[in-house]
Structure formats: structure tokens, C-alpha cells
Amino acid sequence: MNQAALNQFVQIFTLEDQAAAQRVSERLALVLSNPENYLGAYEEELAERGILSALPPQELRDIALIDALLMEDLAWESDWVDTAPAIAEGLNDILARQNRTQTLLPNTLIGRREPGPEQLDTVQDALEKIGLALVLFTLDSDSYPLGIVAEADVEQVRSLAKELGFELVVY
């Protein structure tokens, strides 16, 4: 595991919050270096997700990333029935936590009529207008774990995620 790459990756999500960056980095370093110890350390939290036995390494890494960011309010899980305005409200919590000055105006986001992943396109369009990009963390679920990064960091996020073994989609 490349610790410098991990720190860079985490910093893109935590921005200036060094305490959060430290906590997220420690958690991800554990899952990357010793998945068995990670399972033991976070057994109770994983059980709350319904995970009661070992997972394939890829899935465990991705869940660790999602949970680490959720614990710091740097990710938000959208339900598959959420509309674009509801997603925007959740993402505004991340923007506030990241101390960004930009916000999404939920009442201005008119998405497609049916709920579902198409709503993410509407939200991404709004984020793009303010120089940000939507991150969809992979999870075999009926929810969409989401994060936000600066548009300028998109290629770096993709590259570092691939290097570290995390799966995500950056719009």
C-alpha cells in the first residue's frame, strides 16, 4: 500500500480537516493492509450493515471507504427513490462539512419524473455549474453512496482510487 497515495486520496475528500483526514486514512490503511483485522475492529459496524461474514477484498475495501467517509459526514447515502432535490439536500450537508461556499438549491433541481439513478445526472449537472463533481461509491445495494470532489481533482481521484483498489464512479 502506498501511504502517500492514500493520504492524497483522502485529502481530496476531507480538504483542510486534518483530524478527519487522519481518522479516514487510518481506517483505510487498516483495510488495505490487513482485511482480517479490519473485520475484527469494525465487526459491530459491519453487522449493522448486515455483514456477518467475510467479504471479497474489493467489496470490503469499498464498504470501508464509504463507512469512513459517512462517519465524517463526507458521504451521504441516497435511497433509490430520492428525487434530485432530496439528493441535493443531502449533498449540501457534505458541502457544509467540507467548508465549501457553494451549495445546491434543491428547489431549482427539476429531474426526471421517475426516481432512480437518472436523478444523479440532474444533480451532477448542478454540481458541474459550480465546479464540483459527484462521486458514486460502488455498493451492491438499493442506495447510492455519494461524495463530492472539486472538478479539478476528478482525474486524480480516479487514478488514486484505481491505484489503491477502490471502485468508484466520478461523474
Q: What are the tens digits of pLDDT across the range 55-76?
A: 899 999 999 999 999 999 999 9
The model's pLDDT over 82-111, given as tens digits with 9 standing for 90+, comes to 888 999 999 999 999 999 999 998 877 876
Q: What is the mean pLDDT of residues 111-138?
A: 86
> What is the pTM (predicted TM-score) of this model?
0.92
Q: Which carries the bigger pLDDT value, residue 106 or residue 165?
A: 165
| Within a domain: 88 | no
Q: Residues 6 or more apart from 46 whose CB is under 8 A from it?
A: 39, 52, 63
Cα angle: 138, vertex 135, 43; to 5 degrees: 45
pLDDT at residue 114, rounded to an integer: 64
The model's pLDDT over 4-50, given as tens digits with 9 standing for 90+, comes to 999 999 999 999 999 999 999 999 999 999 999 999 999 999 999 88
Looking at the 3D structure of the chain, how many domains does it have? Answer: 1
pLDDT at residue 83, rounded to an integer: 87
pLDDT band per the 50, 70, 90 thresholds, residue 113? low
pLDDT band per the 50, 70, 90 thresholds, residue 115? low
| Within a domain: 155 | no
| Within a domain: 35 | yes
Residue 114: CB atoms within 10 A of its CB come to 9
CA–CA gap between residue 36 and residue 38 (Å, rounded) = 5
Q: Which three cell numbers stand for residue 161?
A: 482510487
pLDDT at residue 106, rounded to an integer: 83
pLDDT at residue 139, rounded to an integer: 77
| Within a domain: 143 | no
| Within a domain: 62 | yes
131 CA to centre of own chain: 18
**Could you tell me the residue range of the domain that residue 43 belongs to?**
3-75
pLDDT at residue 99, rounded to an integer: 95
| Within a domain: 44 | yes
